Structure 1
């Protein structure tokens, strides 16, 4: 969730747990520890009943539980999302408890370290002091205390938070010289040289040469400019990732020593804590995840020392509880007048996605004199096509990063109609092609599905039909096209919260995206777009039932920061 809501949720969760603790004598977190496991993804060795799943052990509800099959060597594993410092594990056992168990941590869910072990478990409520770090924590049962399996009301993992995360120490690798076993530069991956992994641009990447580098042995290295104490390495992999690799360091770039080894590389974003010294850092890849070579969007090294170059400063995250209106159009123009040129650029657009309309510079977009702007789709011949419509954007007047972006819109119903309120990365204007610039679709609506709308993100690793997003309906299931509705996106460095009429409908969490889909490419300026498309790959073509003319009405567009 957004930062202010995360703080509220954490406080509310702690208060709830304290209240539950008073009733059930559950051990609860002190103010010094941060709950790390609640609501996180869980995997288990087995589940006794369909209703006793692993998720019940981390849901904060002491009335739900996980239970296993009736056997030893059962386990439950929680994914904390990133590497975390862990100092307590709280277990609330049901009557079927474990007398022997161990608690293990891992950075990659492959190589495990034991941080607690016992053969004299007593069941009940156990508050265990531990000392470890990892993205994954696993409770492994070596001996049951009963004839049944094992069962937990709650598994709480507590700690101080992230380890080796950006901000804890200095980013040492930004802008530094890189070398690699080979590099790709062709139409598939243009200028994918080693420096692209160190430029803090998540939409550029390094890749090995397909002609010589699609083999198991490969590497990329960075010269930090001076000796450094290293605290972590962050890797954002392309789908062509390494399952087996070493992190190596060197004082001279010639003689290397391994400081981390894994045979269970997971791809996506991996944060690897280190305690090592060296001037040069290398990812030495030894086993591919698939038939292709290796590719990294980002290779970041954190620590102290070195000769760091400060990256450009990012704007501060907005406080969504205290925002000011910084840009708006209330569309109060005279009837028939075009969009205000001081706010909007008329966008001819290209008929992407096999759309069938022509966007006209005038005629299809106008004020209605009642406080709305009209984008009108018509059935008429123009430039060899049968439909005309309108599209406009703020590319020439307003480009910005972060804030609340809001529009009150009435969308048209009808097969093949495709209205949208969305945003494009401003570097598209400088020649960076889609989807490398990033796209934020605050609202898309398919006219033949009048009860659902959609909010979606598009980036190099997830776009088109594979975009990251979700569809949603009104609480009562009524047609969205029956009236005006307010769509909004609250966007900061941690994620984007989409809402409809003030009700949250989809949250794109940066950590989740980087850990499951690919790079987060939204930390730069974007501009807004309004358009009404006709036809296209998603809605398909209009038919005889589609009403023409059809109107998308916009009451206002507002931006708060």
Structure 2
């Protein structure tokens, strides 16, 4: 067994964070940009310019299709050369990025994975609909390619015309460089909270129809799009027939100046719609119109006056009706209700320890009941174990908590194991959450360190409450762990996340490792042993996947499952009993 220095070193825990993580968010992007400085300039003693930031960095990206749930297009524009986009194994695949406004474009850098395209085009567009070719080749060689261009556009697309392998095509990074140019202003600006108030929160809404008391959309009434809750939605009713005509309106309570409207669409979105205003809720005037609505999150800048605001839809994107997670109106005036404030973002360089368990109790003693609630009973996800209240979770007397999976018959099940959570002791929002764990190896094991939205305890079903998986492992693959987000529009195998491996290529099962998540209002940075592995950006998720449902309290969970939909069942080679050892769990804010 290879010996490694534990991270961080085990020792006394004080009230402040002892060893802030050296790898900061965006480190990978800064490193990649720095590498663009030429050796020629250095050898001649020339002044070195500041690293050039890609216009494409963390911008919304879409694709023709993705090979895996974790290899989506956002992974190719995140500045992290350890994450990638990979397409399905077919010709004609593409990936595109929305730069937010029209830019002059002078270079595109491609960092290909082994599955590269020998034939492809670089295309640009000002509207995401009409495309022109800026570069084309049939002799691409893969690796790192830097393409000098002289063009402009808001959207940049790589369209593969010929695969070099039997697989699809895959990019570690697609980076677009250039300047602001003389294009249009950003059509999707975020509302300015210093000048624009949220006028629609809690105001009464009406709609052409609503999908009520339907198992697929329970009470999807207009107020659900106005409640600032990204996991509840309004939808038109199938009872009246899903037709192209539909609308949702809000009464702001008093005359208002409207500066923007934000729409977070469900997959049932409108390609054609008008934003209308009215003084009396009867006579409407259009202040914005489109026939190329793209779904997901759309921010529409306006300069309009009225008491009532309506989204009037006339062209469906699917066979269903229309549905919005959020319909937000910003501006001044009206009769606004102030929404509850989120906690302040943490300063990840200056955190305090607010909750922890070092597991220093005597050998054989159970988990501290003041910190942990013990789950029992039958699991979900096709798992084969039963969770017991005692016996499968205990301290080893050496500073670790043992979660033990056994082959034993209990309550009609062939296996037993342990799961515990902090729902009775810790429910919180934002901070750094970390655990030092040694995971077992073997077919059918599924160890996890994860977080569940606390409103699950109040009856909100999964995945509407949100789930943050800091670490999951499939026991047959001891080299890889996974960090994943689950929400109403992306869950299960379609969750938003990425893998993590050790730089040495060693097994994760050979020693303890620290898995962590740093979570604030912008997103969640996952790491393994202090090295950033995957960043979930709120902006990118809302623009490419669906609603961001993580700005509320969550609680922590530790468990070791046996079998299930993902790892499959254990077999004759699976070693029992198996132990997941937890050295500590710490929460910093």
The number of aligned residues is 486
The answer to whether the 8 A contact 1:26-1:92 is kept is: no
The residue that corresponds to 2:414 in the other structure is 386
Residue among 180, 184, 196 paired with 1:157 = 180
The residue that corresponds to 1:79 in the other structure is 98
Counterparts in 2 of 1:305 and 1:296: CA distance versus 1, 3 Å: same
Distance in 2, matches of 1:487 and 1:318, equals: 19
- Correspondence 1:287 to 2:315: yes
Q: Which moved more, 1:366-375 or 1:161-170?
A: 161-170
Deviations 1:344-363 (A, max 9, x none): 11112541011111111011
Deviations 1:530-561 (A, max 9, x none): 00101111111111111111000000000001
Counterparts in 2 of 1:243 and 1:543: CA distance versus 1, 3 Å: same
- Correspondence 1:397 to 2:414: no
Matches within 5 A, 1:92-131: 92=106, 106=127, 109-110=128-129
The residue that corresponds to 2:71 in the other structure is none
The residue that corresponds to 1:66 in the other structure is none
The residue that corresponds to 1:167 in the other structure is 193
- TM-fit CA distance, 1:370: 0.4
Matches within 5 A, 1:325-364: 325-348=353-376, 350-364=378-392
Distance in 1, matches of 2:294 and 2:47, equals: 35
Counterparts in 2 of 1:7 and 1:171: CA distance versus 1, 3 Å: farther
The residue that corresponds to 1:218 in the other structure is 246
Residue among 279, 284, 290 paired with 1:262 = 290
The residue that corresponds to 1:488 in the other structure is 516
- Correspondence 1:297 to 2:325: yes
Distance in 2, matches of 1:20 and 1:42, equals: 32
Q: CA RMSD in A?
A: 3.6
Distance in 2, matches of 1:457 and 1:246, equals: 33
The answer to whether the 8 A contact 1:93-1:153 is kept is: yes
TM-score by length of 2: 0.75
3-state secondary structure, aligned to 1:226 = strand
Distance in 1, matches of 2:332 and 2:38, equals: 43
The answer to whether the 8 A contact 1:37-1:158 is kept is: no
- TM-fit CA distance, 1:374: 0.1
The residue that corresponds to 1:543 in the other structure is 571
Distance in 1, matches of 2:550 and 2:298, equals: 19
The answer to whether the 8 A contact 2:53-2:177 is kept is: no
Distance in 2, matches of 1:381 and 1:225, equals: 63
Distance in 1, matches of 2:78 and 2:399, equals: 47
The answer to whether the 8 A contact 1:29-1:158 is kept is: no
The residue that corresponds to 1:421 in the other structure is 449
Residue among 434, 444, 450 paired with 2:462 = 434
Distance in 1, matches of 2:35 and 2:506, equals: 35
The answer to whether the 8 A contact 2:56-2:176 is kept is: no
- TM-fit CA distance, 1:469: 1.0
Gaps of 5+ in 2: 1-20, 64-73, 80-94, 109-123, 132-147, 158-174
TM-score by length of 1: 0.79
3-state secondary structure, aligned to 2:223 = helix
Counterparts in 2 of 1:504 and 1:333: CA distance versus 1, 3 Å: same
3-state secondary structure, aligned to 1:434 = coil
